[in-house]
Amino acid sequence: LLDALVTASEAAGFWTLQAGIFPENVASVRLHERCGFRIVGRRERIGQMHGVWRDVLLMERRSSIVGV
């Protein structure tokens, strides 16, 4: 599905996609990396879930065919 999103976004002219992922969700981070995303930052203690403050990794993918 993520590959389909990347393809559709490029067809629509989007050159950047962004994602916010919990750092402990290693499978999701790896999936995004395989689809060309890279970690560009970390938002520390951005919100609470079940009473625990959580960080979020910021990931970004820039198209190699749109906007070049």
CA angle 10, 59, 37 (to 5 degrees): 50
Pick the CATH number of 2-62 from 3.40.1160.10, 3.40.630.30, 3.40.718.10, 3.30.43.10: 3.40.630.30
Q: How many CB atoms lie within 10 A of CB 37?
A: 22
Q: What is the mean pLDDT of residues 6-17?
A: 96
CA distance 11 to 34: 20
- pLDDT tens for residues 43-53? 999 989 899 99
CB atoms near residue 59 (< 10 Å): 21
Query: Mean pLDDT over residues 50-65, rounded?
Result: 95
Output the CA torsion sign for 29, 33, 36, 37.
positive
Q: What is the mean pLDDT of the chain?
A: 95
**pTM value?**
0.87
In this prediction, residue 53 carries a pLDDT of 96
Cross-strand partners of 19: 59
